[in-house]
Amino acid sequence: NAGVTQTPKFQVLKTGQSMTLQCAQDMNHEYMSWYRQDPGMGLRLIHYSVGAGITDQGEVPNGYNVSRSTTEDFPLRLLSAAPSQTSVYFCASSHSGQGRVQPQHFGDGTRLSIL
Amino acid sequence: KNQVEQSPQSLIILEGKNCTLQCNYTVSPFSNLRWYKQDTGRGPVSLTIMTFSENTKSNGRYTATLDADTKQSSLHITASQLSDSASYICVVSENAGNMLTFGGGTRLMVKP
């Protein structure tokens, strides 16, 4: 049971480039979400999904897009990378009943640097 | 504005000792409170989750308490081990769990 798998683990981008952070879970969880974690700050919710085909914005959605075509996958797209998006990104999932965006299982993160 | 304050920011203890981490919140209406452990370079791992009616919950050597009247929670670690070195994050959920507020975490270092 792999849990929540994030790829890549590390990435360096130049300002203006775009990329997709991948997230997959094998627990058949309905809820998935993306967070960013910055030094000295708590985790902040970017986008979340309550099921395939349904997504919504979190606290800091600007500059990011998501889609949920399957239960298993929830990719996060950076449209035009900016240095302010340098951060560690975590994907999380949970069963229904834990709250709409209550994370139960986290991936190990993608460490992203924007030059 | 909902806030979750954790203290201390960092803590160093000797292996085998006990310690208590604090979490104070202003989130209302309250739904539940969860403690996570985050090892360096890893994602957070859920330790305990408590609803309004629960005062205490244990997970091995970890015991969380909740006082919903004073809006305070604590995480007590008994007989600390080197593997307890990590950041501990308190997360409070508003009613129905639609919104979460994360604390900034307490960084614990256990020394031999």
Please give the average per-residue pLDDT across B77-103, as a whole number. Answer: 88
Amino acid in the structure at residue A13 = L
Query: In chain B, how many H helices and how many E strands?
Result: 0, 11
**B87 in reach of chain A (CB within 8 A):** no
Taking alpha carbons only, the member of B8, B6, B35, B9 closest to residue B93 is B35
Q: What is the pLDDT of residue A95?
A: 81
Residue A15's pLDDT is: 97
Element (H, E) at B23: strand B19-25
Q: What is the pLDDT of residue A101?
A: 54
Amino acid at site A75: P
Inter-chain Cβ pairs, chain A and chain B, closer than 8 A: 54
* pLDDT value, residue B29: 85
The list of chain A residues with pLDDT below 50 reads none
Q: Give the residue on B whose Cα is nearest the Cα of A5.
A: B43
Predicted pLDDT of residue B75: 98
3 state SS of B83: helix
Residues of A with CB under 8 A from a CB of B: 4, 40-45, 90, 92, 98-109
* CA–CA dist B64, B47 (Å, integer): 9
